[in-house]
Amino acid sequence: MIKMNILPAAMLAAFAAGMPLGAMAAPDLKVALIAGKTGVLEAYAKETETGFMMGLEYLTGGKMEINGRKLKVIVKDDQSKPDMGRTLLAEAYGDDKVDIAVGTTSSGSAIAMLPVAAEYKKVLIVEPAVADAITGDKWNRYVFRTARSSMQDALAAAATLKNGSVAFLAQDYAFGKDAIKAGKEALAATGSKAKVVHEEYAPQTATDFTASAQRIFAALKDKPQPRVLGIVWAGPNPMNKIADMKPERYGIALAPGGNILPVMKTWRAYAGTEGTIYYYYDFPKNKMNDWLVAEHKKRYKAPPDMFTAGGFAAASAVVTALTKSGGGSDTEKLIATMEGMEFDTPKGKMSFRKQDHQAMQSMYHFRIKKTQGDEWDLLELVREIPASELPVPVRNKR
């Protein structure tokens, strides 16, 4: 009996066309980008997508290919809803057969997605969600994060405050609570002698901060100087409304966390106010950031924003990992490649810490400029805070 080998249809078609077998096109590399493109975090999601696509363009020289294989990006909108994020990621891994996924905007949705990565045994790069739990108690070995964490934000802010009294204003949901918890821990971790005297949580969609401000002022006004109100807020920031209530009459200074450019543009009246930020287009000095700033201004008539840089960083992690691992189909090769992997970003080099896959990265201490040349000329650099000065704890119990 003669044993016959049945050739796949694709091979038969190639032979029929007279095509050498080695010349057959390799399958596409597929990447899913999940973002909250509708809802309260829409602006962040759109910036992330822009940065991600520009990053892929730059890193592949415009070819959108890695190791000779075409790169296909599938974008999905989870509307910042955890159940939808979970469903879309399962769809991306199961139906779309993506090699790697990136997402998402909301921390709540990102946390819901983590078990899906473990179930399908596929890599998920978290960008831009910041909740510490993502690389902490909710983490699994398939999860990597290019986004900064709440603790990295908090440690950067704590590095600027050595003593005095601190109150916090944040949104009353996972992001805000996580950020304030990290803020208190960061003060201790950096050796600051500043004392936290009040925590104020307002609804995520709050527009009236009168009662909150009165409670904050009452808690701070008689405490040791300097008296600082740290504001941690996603979306339209309450800084202007708080500032209009004249906290300076109680010797209280505002310390906003960095935000997107359209929000920070409204802070012009508060020259000299200091804070910390993940990225501001004029701070990093490197070839990649130079290209991003110039090209973004050319295409969008404005400089890139902090979430644009984050999307670009995620693209760099994807391209570096897929290039060095030799392809995307073997998850174990990807994980082995990515643990400890360094990759270039518009902020400079990042590296995935082996223990919890958090990207270690620098942050920036800024001051709002007194003299501003144009509508986006907002901040001056006080100091780049290197990753070595940000002792992010490992909390995933690996």
Whether 195 and 217 map to the same domain: the answer is yes
Whether 107 and 143 map to the same domain: the answer is yes
Whether 255 and 228 map to the same domain: the answer is yes
Q: Among 97, 96, 100, 111, which Cα is nearest to 56's?
A: 100
Look-up of token digits 């822009």: 50
| pTM for the model | 0.88
The pLDDT assigned to 200 comes to 96
CATH number at residue 120: 3.40.50.2300
pLDDT higher at 257 or 104: 104
The pLDDT assigned to 24 comes to 59
The pLDDT assigned to 204 comes to 87
**Is residue 238's pLDDT more than 50?**
yes
- 3-state SS, residue 229: strand
The β-bridge relationship of strands 123-126 and 100-102 is: parallel
Whether 187 and 107 map to the same domain: the answer is no
**Is residue 6's pLDDT more than 50?**
no
Tell me the pLDDT band of 326, cut-offs 50, 70 and 90: confident
Distance from the first to the final alpha carbon of the chain: 56
Mean pLDDT of the chain: 91
Task: Report, as an integer, the average pLDDT of 209-219.
Answer: 96
Distance CA 66, CA 12 (A): 27
According to DSSP, the residues that pair with 255 across neighbouring strands are: 230
Contact criterion met (CB below 8 Å) for 268 and 372: yes
Tell me the pLDDT band of 7, cut-offs 50, 70 and 90: very low
Which structural domain, as residue segments, surrounds residue 159?
151-277+364-389
Whether 55 and 107 map to the same domain: the answer is yes
Residue 2 lies in a domain: no
Tell me the pLDDT band of 39, cut-offs 50, 70 and 90: confident
> Beta-carbon neighbour count of residue 127 at 10 Å?
32
The pLDDT assigned to 205 comes to 87
Distance CA 320, CA 342 (A): 9
Task: Report, as an integer, the average pLDDT of 88-111.
Answer: 97
Whether 171 and 264 map to the same domain: the answer is yes
Whether 353 and 381 map to the same domain: the answer is no
Tokens representing residue 95 in the block: 């139906």
Tell me the pLDDT band of 83, cut-offs 50, 70 and 90: very high
Whether 98 and 141 map to the same domain: the answer is yes
The pLDDT assigned to 330 comes to 93
The pLDDT assigned to 212 comes to 96
Residue 343 lies in a domain: yes
Whether 375 and 228 map to the same domain: the answer is yes
Whether 105 and 250 map to the same domain: the answer is no
Distance CA 272, CA 252 (A): 14
- 3-state SS, residue 49: helix
Q: Among 71, 132, 77, which Cα is nearest to 98's?
A: 71
Residue 144 lies in a domain: yes
> Beta-carbon neighbour count of residue 391 at 10 Å?
11
Task: For 101-118, write each residue's pLDDT tens digit.
Answer: 999 999 999 999 999 999
Whether 134 and 62 map to the same domain: the answer is yes
Tallying the residues shown for the chain, one arrives at 398
**Is residue 334's pLDDT more than 60?**
yes
Share of the chain above pLDDT 90, in %: 76
With both helix axes pointing from N to C terminus, report the angle between 174-189 and 107-120 in degrees, rounded to the nearest 10.
90
Tokens representing residue 260 in the block: 């997107």
Whether 138 and 156 map to the same domain: the answer is no
Task: For 155-196, write each residue's pLDDT tens digit.
Answer: 999 998 889 999 999 999 878 888 899 889 999 888 889 999
